[in-house]
Structure formats: C-alpha cells, structure tokens
C-alpha cells in the first residue's frame, strides 16, 4: 500500500510532536537547569545567570563553571521551553492516541502545556516592584529593585514637576559597557544629555588629590567599578551624565549614584533641574494606606516569626474602599495586583513595611494546572497499580 503524502504542516507537526523532540528538549532543559544552578554560585548571581540562560534574547548559552567557559554551546533555555511546549501540544495533545485509557495522560499533557504557556505569559507580561510604607502613610507607586532608570525633572521650590524617565531598556546601551556613551534627547527641555561610565556596581570616593587612572571625577567625587554581587538588588550603580545646553552648547557634568537618595541639580537659564538614578518607578492604579503592621521574632532569636500588615485600599478621592490583612503566605490580590509582605522594620519606634507588588495575568494558572494534572496522573497510576497488584496476587496464588 502506498504511503500517504503528507503536507509540510503535517510533517512539521509530526517532527515537533515526536518522542525524540520530547526527550531531547527535556534532556537539554535538565542540563541547562543543572548548569545554571551551579553558575548561580558564581559572581554573576541569580539575576545575571537567568538572563544568560533563560532570557528571550539568549539564543544560545556558553556555560561557565568555576570561572571558566565550557567548550560547549547549548540552545537558550527560553527557546528550549518553546520547543518543549510545542512538542507537548503537537505530540501530547494533537497527535496523541485518543481513547478512554489515554484520557488521564491527555489531561496531564493539556495541563502541563497550560503551565508552560502560563510561564511564558508571566515572563512577558508580569511586572514586579517594591513598595515601602511607614505605618499611617499611603502610597501609589512602587519601584524596581533591579531595573534602574535615570529621571530628569524641573524643580520649582519644593515641588518637583513631572519627571522625564530614561528607563532600563533605554539604558541597556551603556549599562556596564566600558567606554560606551549614549545620547538622550529631550525636545521639551532646553538640553540633551549624554550618559557614560555606567557601572553596575560602584563605590563612590571623595577626591583626595587626583582621581585614579580611568576614573571620572565629578564635583569632588569619583566612582570606581566594584565586582557585582550575586544579588542584583544589592548592587549600587553609578553613571556620569553630561548635560548639554542646546542653545549655548554649555556643558555640565554630574555623577549619579543609586545609593544617594536625592536629586543632583543643575541650573540652566534660571531653572533648576534635578537628576536622579534609582529603581524604575511603577505607578499603581490605586493608593494603599498602611494602617498597622506587626512583626515578631522567635523569642530570643533574630529569626522572623510573623510579619503582617493591615492595609486599606483608597479610591481616587482618597476615601477608604476596602481593608485587607496581608500576611506571609497570604498576599492581597485586588484588581490585577498582588501585594506580598516582603519585609518589616522597626527603627526608633517607626514601623515600615515592605511589599512586593506584582501583576501577572497567569498568576493562578500553575495552581489550576497542577490540580488537573495531579488528579489525572493519580487516576492513571492507580489504574496501573491496580493492574500490577492484581497480576501479582494472581501469580502468587498460581505459585
């Protein structure tokens, strides 16, 4: 009998849905997971290791072990997950034999595919930032611990006008790049700026005599690059900003340092402009007021026992809308945002609570998928176990 001629699409589905792709992608994912676990212990830490192994831009990976590059090239983890998900859909769902016996495995494949797709949505669509509130205060913004921005704003007395933000994506061109310079144009302002000498982790030193070779001295200080720590949120970045007046061509130079909590100012045409480098700000759609916060340590130790907060969500007029209690393992989920109790500090009688604020359209997908998959696999394996037990008992009787 002649073989049926398959079209290209069918052939692609056959290949992508085959066992060999399943096995190869799982083995690759295993190797990437293992190598990234070991590389996390190095100077790069988790943040940079994940960027290297599992980011969208990482088409391939050259693993590093004990500071040395290994002589292998592996496909990037993100793309291996894409292939694996396609394999799940084509092989585990579409091509899979359908029947009552195969139903549990079918459902478990569907739920795993849902898990992987949920992961992709999380990667591309989720956003996370950090909000710190003292008790009694309210806030409507959070800031990123890992993505930095440079803000420029006109300062009028004690008021700061709407800032112009150069976000982390725009700063990629200079971030950690030795000798790199990038120009940013501000048509609405009388100047443009040039950012250079962006150190991912820097130490600021006061000038004593002359600055060391290669360091740029600004306003009596210079920054030296330090080895980035393994925790991105602990790195303190710095950069040099050259402000170029458009009309006169006059230039001003300022040093921005993440560890400094205030603006560095430049006066141009009688107006004061503030420059600042800090975590990218994310304005939340509603205000949150911290009514009370309690923290307790295990007696006689420094180990946290309880951190919990009473918060009230305020409407646009500042009136109380709803009250919630946030505890460890019990976040507040409200209007597409989730608030997690992350930290708690009491200093000189003032209590401050730290919340991780997150938005993630696929937040609950893993929960649903594991419930479905767990039930399906349980049914499948119980049937297999029953068969094994019955045949063993029958064999023993026969013996």
Partner 1 sequence: MTSGKIGRWVGFVFALLVAASMLLYTAKDSMIRRAPVEIDGYTQWDPDLVEAFGSMAVQDGGRVKPLSTWAGFELLALNGKRSIKFKSDGKSVKIGPTEWVLDMMFRDEFANKMEVFQVEDANVLDMIGMSHEGKKRRDRYSYLEIGEHLHEVDRLRNELAEKRQKGQELDLVEDQFLGLYSNIQSYVSMSSHFNPVKNRMADEGSPLAPELQLFSGWVEKWPQLSQFLSSAAQQEGAEMDGLRRVTNMIATRIGESVYSDIAMMPPSDPEQKSWPKRQGWLSHYMQFKTGPDADQITYLKEMEKLALGYTYDGEKGLLKEVNAYKGRVAEKMKARGGEGDKIKSEIMMYKLDYFYRSLTPFVLGFLVVAFGWIAPATRWGRVCNRIAWVLLVYGFILVTLGIVHRSILMERPPVGNLYDTIPFITAVVILVLGFMEWLTKRRVCIGLAFFFATLGMFLAMWYEESKGVDPMNPLIAVLRSNFWLATHVITITIGYAGGLLTAGISHVYIFSRLFKIGDDDKSFSRFLTRVVYGGVCFTLFFSLVGTILGGVWANDSWGRFWGWDPKENGALIIVLWTLVILHARMAGYIRDWGIHICSILLAIMVTFSWWHVNFLSIGLHNYGFTGGSGLKAIWSFYTLEALVVFVGLYMALTQGKSKKAALPEKA
| Residues of the shown chain interacting with partner 1 in the complex, contacts defined by CB under 8 A | 19-20, 22-23, 26-27, 29-30, 33-34, 36-38, 40-41, 46, 49-50, 54, 115, 119, 122, 128, 230, 296, 298-301, 303-307, 328-331, 338, 340, 342, 356, 358, 363, 366-367, 369-370, 373-374, 377-378, 381, 384-385, 388-389, 392-393, 396
Neighbours of 272 (CB within 10 A): 15
Residue closer to partner 1, measured from CB, 6 or 384: 384
Least distance (Å) from partner 1 to the CB of residue 26? 5
**Smallest distance, Å, CB 72 to partner 1?**
18
Between 34 and 59, CB nearer to partner 1 = 34
CB of 144 to partner 1, least distance (A): 13
- Positive or negative, the Cα torsion across 96, 99, 111, 26? negative
Closest CB to partner 1 among 131 and 218? 131
Q: Closest approach of Cβ 353 to partner 1, in Å?
A: 13
Q: How many CB atoms are located within 10 Å of the residue 70 CB?
A: 13
CA–CA separation, 256 and 275 (whole Å): 7
Shortest Å distance, C-beta 267 to partner 1: 38
The span from the first CA to the last CA of the chain, in angstroms, equals 47
Rounded distance, CA 88 to CA 99, Å? 18
Place of tokens 């398959």: 6
Which residue lies nearer to partner 1 by CB, 26 or 320?
Answer: 26
Give least dist CB 264 to partner 1, A.
27
CB of 168 to partner 1, least distance (A): 19
Q: Compare residues 54 and 191 and give the one whose CB is closer to partner 1.
A: 54
Whole-number Å distance between alpha carbons of 276 and 371 = 47
Q: Which is nearer to partner 1, 44 or 274 (CB)?
A: 44
Q: Give SS3 for 243.
A: strand
Q: How far is the CB of 268 from partner 1 (least distance, A)?
A: 40
Q: What token pair was written down for 284?
A: 């939340």
- What's the half-sphere exposure (Cβ side, CA atoms, 13 Å) at 230? 9
The CB-of-290 to partner 1 minimum distance in angstroms stands at 18
Contact yes or no for 85/116 (Cβ under 8 A): yes
Q: Taking Cα atoms as reference points, which of 104, 98, 87, 107 lies closest to residue 23?
A: 87
| Contact yes or no for 38/49 (Cβ under 8 A) | no
Chain CA centroid to CA 93, Å: 31
User: CA dist 346 to 135, 138, 139, 258, 294, Å?
Assistant: 10, 17, 19, 24, 9
Least distance in angstroms from the C-beta of 7 to partner 1: 24
φ, ψ of residue 188 to 5 degrees: the values are -85, -10
- Considering the complex, state which of residue 59 and residue 388 has its C-beta at the smaller distance from partner 1: 388
**136 or 374, CB closer to partner 1?**
374
DSSP summary character for residue 375: H
Find where tokens 């943040």 sit. 47
Cα dihedral across residues 279, 145, 318, 135: positive or negative? negative
Q: How many residues does the chain have?
A: 399
Count the neighbouring beta carbons within 10 Å of the beta carbon of residue 97.
8
């Amino acid at each position: 009998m002649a073989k049926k001629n398959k079209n290209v699409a069918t052939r692609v589905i056959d290949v992508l849905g085959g066992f060999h792709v399943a096995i190869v992608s799982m083995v690759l994912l295993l190797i990437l997971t293992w190598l990234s676990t070991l590389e996390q212990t190095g100077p790069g830490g988790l943040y940079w290791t994940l960027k290297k192994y599992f980011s969208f831009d990482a088409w391939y990976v050259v693993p590093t072990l004990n500071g040395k590059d290994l002589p292998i090239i592996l496909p990037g983890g993100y793309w291996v997950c894409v292939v694996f998900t396609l394999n799940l859909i084509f092989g585990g769902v579409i091509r899979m034999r359908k029947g009552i016996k195969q139903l549990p495995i079918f459902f478990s494949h569907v739920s795993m595919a849902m898990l992987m797709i949920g992961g992709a949505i999380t990667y591309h669509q989720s956003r996370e930032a950090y909000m710190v509130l003292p008790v009694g205060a309210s806030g409507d913004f959070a800031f990123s611990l890992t993505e930095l921005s440079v803000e420029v704003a006109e300062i009028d007395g004690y008021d700061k006008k709407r800032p112009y933000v150069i976000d982390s994506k725009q700063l990629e061109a200079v971030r950690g790049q030795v000798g790199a310079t990038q120009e940013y144009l501000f048509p609405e302002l009388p100047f443009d700026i040039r950012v250079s000498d962006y150190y991912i982790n820097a130490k600021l030193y006061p000038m004593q005599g002359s600055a060391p070779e290669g360091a740029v001295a600004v306003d009596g200080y210079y920054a030296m690059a330090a080895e980035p720590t393994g925790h991105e949120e602990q790195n303190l970045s710095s950069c040099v900003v050259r402000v170029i007046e458009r009309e006169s061509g006059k230039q001003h130079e300022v040093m921005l340092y993440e560890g400094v909590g205030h603006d560095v100012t430049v006066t141009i045409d009688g107006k004061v402009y503030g420059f600042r480098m800090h975590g990218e700000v994310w304005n939340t759609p509603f205000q949150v007021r911290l009514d009370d916060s309690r923290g307790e340590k295990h007696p006689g130790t420094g180990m946290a026992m309880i951190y919990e907060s009473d918060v009230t969500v305020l409407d646009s007029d500042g009136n109380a809308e709803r009250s919630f209690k946030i505890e460890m393992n019990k976040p507040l989920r409200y209007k597409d945002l989730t608030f997690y109790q992350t930290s708690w500090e009491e200093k000189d009688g003032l209590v401050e609570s730290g919340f991780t604020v997150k938005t993630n359209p696929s937040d609950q997908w893993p929960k649903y998928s594991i419930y479905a998959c767990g039930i399906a696999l349980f049914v499948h394996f119980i049937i297999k176990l029953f068969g094994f037990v019955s045949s063993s008992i029958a064999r023993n009787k026969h013996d």
